A and B are shown apart, each in its own frame.
Chain A
Amino acid sequence: MLTFTIRRLIIAVPTLLFIAVVIFGLLQLAPGDPMAQVPLTVPPEVKERMREALGLGEPIHVQFWKWIVQFFWIEPQVFIDNVFGTHLADGKLRVLSWQTRSPVMDIVVQRMPQTLWVVGMSYLVGILIALPIGIYSAYRQYSIFDQLGTFIAMIGFSVPTFFTGVLLIVIFSVNMDRDSFWWFPSIYDTTLQVTDWASFGQQIRQMAMPVTVLALYNAAQISRFMRASMLDNLNQDYVRTARAKGVGERAVVMVHVLRNSLIPVVTVIALGVPQVFGGAIITEQVFKVNGLGQLLIGAIEANDLPMVQTLTFIFAVLIVLFNLIADVLYGILDPRIRYD
């Protein structure tokens, strides 16, 4: 298993480099101009100067090489500096966003908390809802509960979050009385510091609606996986054997079947984790959470290539990493699977 992991990690290096080249190439080919949002009242020659100041005049391979050096050499130094208080990266040019003229990684770090809180929490809540629903739906297949679960999963799956999000806002922010307990803010306050119970309550309130919307979507997906996996196992011979031995129904389902059924579900859940970091572009936009998803979409709209390049590359790293984790988990959970 260890050699497998190491081998996969080594293969990941050329894979990621290839991904970086492809992302960079695609961004270069994509139409658009970082000066497009500058008003027309700014004359073209001034815009040209601004482009030069962004480093756009340089040849493409130089731009790419600069980004590689900044991302793989200078940014780790900054990280080390922050952790150990050293001064390795002082005065070195980091990956700078074109919109803000500030280091991209600083903004990413700034955006991480709200994305992890909201999207991560919704993933967690989604899993917690999905597992019991999936288990019970499979155990009582075609019962009313199963039909209901299927129906809700279908809704969660097919109704887009920009609809459910706005629907919740209309119900709980617009039409609800402001003093009511059921009033929830439609705009997420990223400056809120949780220092006491009151502010903790506020944080819960402002997370409630975006988490609900996303959790519904996540739960729909995972509960279907759980149900299918349980159904696969419930008809296996070992289940019949267990029942024939006189093992209690509870132990049969919750110990024998569930453990085996969880193997594929856990890997599916692991594969979904990079999406948490990717943020939820639409939900973040609807509730103004301004996390990583909003950062990415804003950067794309503004043609902020260093930002888009860095973010998409980080997502690529996470996807490669969590694919590996899923594979390793498979091996750990199921002793029959061996990669060596």
Chain B
Amino acid sequence: MKLKTILLGAAAAFAMAPAAMAERGADGHVNVIYWQAPSILNPYLSGGTKDIESSSIILEPLGRYDPDGNLVPFLATEIPTVENGGVSEDLTSITWKIKPDLLWSDGTPLTSEDVVFTAEYCMDPQGGCAQLSKFNGIKTVEAVDDLTVKVTFATPQPNPYGAFMGGQSPILQKAQFKDCTGGRAAECTEANFNPIGTGPFVVDEFKPNDVISLSANPNYRDAAKPAFATMTFKGGGDATAAGRAVLETGEFDYAWNLQLAPEVLEQMAQGGKGETVAAFGTLVERIEMNLTDPSPDLPPETRATVDAPHPILSDLNVRKALSMAIDREILVEIGYGQAGRPTCNLVPAPEMYASPNKECIPQDIEGAKALLDEAGWTDTDGDGIRDKDGKKLSLLFQSSTNAVRQNFQDAIKAWWGEIGVETELRNVSASVFFGGDPGSPDTFQKFYADVEMYANNFDGTDPQAYLAQYRCGNEPKPSSQWQGENINRFCDPAYDAMLDELAKTGELDKRGEIAKKLNEMLTKDTYTIVPLVDRGRVSAHSNTLGGVALNTWDSELWNVADWYRIKE
């Protein structure tokens, strides 16, 4: 009798034990759908968002950005700063300390050698690394001891958090990738499809452009996480189907980036199986003004280059009037709904870099007309189109093929018509428009149009490199094979001087001030860039999926270790 009681008690204690130890894998299975299917799980070989986000479940960087854009340590013990001595006073080196006792999913320890190797892997000139710009300016990466890595830069870096920060630059395992450097990077299919990582999940099976089956990493550093034992990461289809699978049929728990018409999304949300979440980053839909003459009458060497200033758009008043005629709130309503808000800034976030400028938001048709009158553009022949010195105020407006963009083009054409500007619309397939083929006349870089519309953003939270795109000489031109990021061919020595100052400034307040000024020089002072909509990201999760914190500064799956099933 007594023995039986003891045995029962022991049995009960055993039964209780797993419950008390809360509980890796206790919540079973989770389904995630990305309507763009991942092709490869090595973010260094693909710049695509789908590949960066899917690999972020498996691979981790030293630090990530949180939903507010703050830096948080992941594999590092803390984020190195000048204050804690991690960044040298002269801003030429940064020293990362790795958390002790970290294990790869195969059970081997993670050391500073792996971090050093990751840098070598990406910086190999033969490798074609997609994240090379993260390693810009790095002179050496060395392992000080097993858990300390020192990165030395050639010049002072006020923002030294390029390498090993965020989803684009995670740590690879040296043992797995040591034979995959340089020209052999593409041959390591096994490693590229099944990378060994430190993240909450490990790959069981990867079917490229289709599906990833994952299970909880037995060596994950937090014994209680992840709550899910297995995950299916399905790719493919379209945003509508992905939204439907979460919000209406309830087959999936999380759907990424639902770029859908606002009314479609609203109707789906009435399915009641899940809810949408939105967050804003730095993606801005904008109109770019061409400051150079794209006329086909010009020879190819001077067409759309700085040698030929634009006959109409060189006039600030015209550019300003074009901006004033636009009603950004209506654009948000027709195009983005909860995933957009009107903006006048090229750098809309983070807050410390975003200018408070809002003056462009109210539409002012009368003001725009007055401005054009003042600039000498009047309708002398009574055909409804303004002209000046025999030249009509007629613009070619191009964009990529995309339902929302074509709606925007139509609306903007109508507003510009009201102020007497004739607009010819044109749209180009996105793969050509953004393709950068120097032989094609239709790329956004070549800009053989007067104005064009697209969206762009910057990586991470520091806008320095983004603003530096508008430096004199960085414009696409024949001599650079039409490569270059100064799409508008903007050139102002004062702007360049301020950029140099920004590159030398380490204090965050000062940096914010300069960045705001730079942003204003491009937008409200010159109307070179006419921002329209600050575009957020909308994703959806099922009602039973907890822990989702939508993050636009890093991978959306940055905190997938914290996801759990809400018990009903």
Could you list which residues of chain A lie within 8 angstroms of chain B, going by C-beta atoms?
A: 31-33, 35-54, 93, 96-97, 99-103, 106-107, 110-111, 169, 173-174, 178, 185-187, 189-191, 285-286, 288, 290, 294-295, 298, 301-303
Q: Is the CB of B209 within 8 A of A295?
A: yes
Chain B residues lying within 8 Å of A303, measured Cβ to Cβ, are 431, 435
Report the nearest B residue to A176, measured CB to CB: B249
Q: Is the CB of B209 within 8 A of A290?
A: yes
Q: Is the CB of A187 within 8 A of B193?
A: no
Report the nearest A residue to B466, measured CB to CB: A41
Known A46-B133, A174-B249: A294·B213 in contact at CB below 8 Å: no
Report the nearest A residue to B52, measured CB to CB: A39
Partner of A290, one of B132, B187, B210: B210
Which of A45, A47, A178, A288 has the most B CB atoms < 10 Å from its CB?
A288
Report the minimum CB–CB distance from B347 to chain A (whole Å).
13
Q: Is the CB of A290 within 8 A of B211?
A: yes
**9 A–B contacts, CB within 8 A, in A order:** A31-B440, A41-B456, A49-B129, A53-B127, A99-B209, A173-B249, A174-B271, A191-B232, A288-B241
Report the nearest A residue to B252, measured CB to CB: A187
Q: Is the CB of A191 within 8 A of B185?
A: no
Chain A residues lying within 8 Å of B186, measured Cβ to Cβ, are 53-54, 96, 101
Docked Cα-Cα span, A100 to B235, in Å, equals 14
Docked Cα-Cα span, A187 to B243, in Å, equals 12
Which of A39, A174, A286, A298 has the most B CB atoms < 10 Å from its CB?
A39
Report the nearest B residue to A303, measured CB to CB: B431
Partner of B251, one of A31, A186, A294: A186
Chain B residues lying within 8 Å of A189, measured Cβ to Cβ, are 211, 232, 234
Could you list which residues of chain B lie within 8 angstroms of chain A, going by C-beta atoms?
A: 33, 37, 39-40, 45-49, 125-133, 183, 185-187, 189, 192-193, 205, 207-211, 213, 232, 234-238, 241, 244-245, 248-252, 271, 429-432, 434-437, 440, 442, 445, 456-459, 483-485
Q: Is the CB of A38 within 8 A of B210?
A: no
Known A43-B133, A99-B208, A107-B209: A35·B435 in contact at CB below 8 Å: yes
Partner of B431, one of A33, A47, A53, A290: A33
Known A36-B430, A298-B37: A42·B133 in contact at CB below 8 Å: yes
Chain A residues lying within 8 Å of B485, measured Cβ to Cβ, are 43-44
Taking A38-B48, A101-B45, A288-B237 as known contacts, 9 extra A-B pairs with beta carbons closer than 8 A to each other, sorted by chain A number, are A38-B46, A49-B128, A53-B185, A54-B128, A100-B192, A187-B33, A191-B205, A285-B237, A302-B39
Q: Is the CB of B211 within 8 A of A190?
A: yes
Q: Is the CB of A46 within 8 A of B132?
A: yes
Report the minimum CB–CB distance from A33 to chain B (whole Å).
3
Partner of A32, one of B40, B437, B457, B484: B437
Chain A residues lying within 8 Å of B209, measured Cβ to Cβ, are 99-100, 107, 290, 294-295, 298
Report the nearest A residue to B47, measured CB to CB: A38
Report the minimum CB–CB distance from B477 to chain A (whole Å).
12
Chain A residues lying within 8 Å of B37, measured Cβ to Cβ, are 290, 298
Chain A residues lying within 8 Å of B208, measured Cβ to Cβ, are 97, 99-100, 102, 107, 110
Ranked 9 nearest A-B pairs via Cβ:
A53-B128, A33-B435, A38-B47, A44-B483, A99-B39, A102-B189, A290-B210, A101-B186, A100-B208
Chain A residues lying within 8 Å of B127, measured Cβ to Cβ, are 53
Report the minimum CB–CB distance from B287 to chain A (whole Å).
16
Docked Cα-Cα span, A186 to B236, in Å, equals 13
Report the nearest A residue to B240, measured CB to CB: A166
Q: Is the CB of A31 within 8 A of B429?
A: yes
Docked Cα-Cα span, A298 to B39, in Å, equals 10
Chain B residues lying within 8 Å of A51, measured Cβ to Cβ, are 128
Partner of B187, one of A93, A99, A110, A178: A93
Chain A residues lying within 8 Å of B251, measured Cβ to Cβ, are 173, 185-187
Q: Is the CB of B33 within 8 A of A31?
A: no
Chain A residues lying within 8 Å of B458, measured Cβ to Cβ, are 41
Report the minimum CB–CB distance from A299 to chain B (whole Å).
8
Partner of B132, one of A41, A49, A97, A107: A49
Known A36-B436, A44-B484, A99-B40: A187·B430 in contact at CB below 8 Å: no
Report the minimum CB–CB distance from A169 to chain B (whole Å).
7
Chain B residues lying within 8 Å of A186, measured Cβ to Cβ, are 241, 244-245, 249, 251
Docked Cα-Cα span, A294 to B193, in Å, equals 20
Docked Cα-Cα span, A178 to B236, in Å, equals 23
Chain A residues lying within 8 Å of B131, measured Cβ to Cβ, are 42, 46
Chain B residues lying within 8 Å of A288, measured Cβ to Cβ, are 234, 236-237, 241
Report the minimum CB–CB distance from A231 to chain B (whole Å).
42
Report the minimum CB–CB distance from A61 to chain B (whole Å).
18
